[in-house]
Amino acid sequence: MLFNQKLRAIQRKDNSLVCIGLDTDIRQIPKHLLRRANPIAEFNRRIIEATKDIVCAYKLNLAFYEVLGERGWHIVHQTLDRIPENIVTIGDGKRSDIGNSAERYARLIFEDYKFDAATVNPYMGEDAVKPFLERKEQCAFVLVATSNRGAKDFQFLRVNGKPLYEKVLQKVHQWNAKKNCGVVAGTTYPRVLRRLRELSPTLPFLLPGIGAQQGDLESAVRYGCDMHGELAIISASRSILYASSDEDFSDAARDAALSLRDAINHYREKYF
Ligand code: OMP
């Protein structure tokens, strides 16, 4: 199944554009879990159990696992094993490199872990991104305009009268021959998001920055979605994972995810 078909199917089934970022930090999980043999895997298991009927995707930022060494590799696998087949999984490593090295990164993310999608850095250009474009069922979400303050350092620079992020988007369209590219656009720059969606009406958009980074939800929905009010993946990590630091953490995460889903659906009804 093509990535976009899988995404649309789960968004319709769960009536949800919510993605939970499993950026699990041992320093932030409830203290009682530290007595367990594998606290991070247990935390992820409980979050997934509590939310799997109300999300379209889970995104694992690989830094939180790679920092654990070999144990982290196992936890990624254990976590992915808990996620139902029909939910989209995103390996967020923001990778790319000269082709030879990028090919190894792509194999790790798509063939070892078997994520449905990866986040990919366009800075090194086409040959560095190409290894992520070879599998038509697996999507490369290219960083076009990121959510952080430093996005302005390079991404907003003007090249021949156009901001660099528009040039990057043009490239993404060229790289999309197998219909397996997506766009990462932060929710903290609504006007940029609006422009990107105007230029790119049909690609899936990954929209981080909601919650802890105070991205704007209304514009994320209004401009992040395609014309059907779909193909936007609205991602939040800390605001959901750490909604409570107590024994009720998974219920609190569910409540936070439900509130986000309902707020998103309210805006979908308003604009689509
Ligand atoms: P919270 O701020 O806790 O919701 O986490 C945001 C997550 O989204 C982290 O895993 C970031 O690495 C990721 N992210 C951004 O915050 N900004 C971006 O522009 C792109 C990403 C990403 O590619 O997911």
Mean pLDDT of the region 49-71 = 98
Mean pLDDT of the region 180-185 = 98
Q: Which of 157, 184, 154 is nearest to 169 (CA)?
A: 184
Q: Are residues 166 and 176 in contact, defined by beta-carbon separation less than 8 angstroms? A: no
Mean pLDDT of the region 163-188 = 98
Mean pLDDT of the region 36-50 = 98
Q: Are residues 10 and 87 in contact, defined by beta-carbon separation less than 8 angstroms? A: yes
21 touches ligand 1 (CB under 6 Å): yes
- At residue 51, the pLDDT reads 98
Distance 210 CA to ligand 1 centre (A): 9
Q: Is 167 a catalytic residue?
A: no
Distance CA 20, CA 249 (A): 14
In ligand 1, which atom is closest to the CA atom of 186? 19
- At residue 154, the pLDDT reads 98
Supply the pTM of this predicted model. 0.98
Q: Which residue among 52, 94, 130, 167 is the active-site one?
A: 94
- Nearest residue by C-alpha to atom 14 in ligand 1: 208
Q: Which of 71, 89, 57, 59 is nearest to 26 (CA)?
A: 71
186 touches ligand 1 (CB under 6 Å): yes
146 touches ligand 1 (CB under 6 Å): yes
Q: Which residue type sits at 40? A: I
117 touches ligand 1 (CB under 6 Å): no
Distance 23 CA to ligand 1 centre (A): 9
Mean pLDDT of the region 236-248 = 97
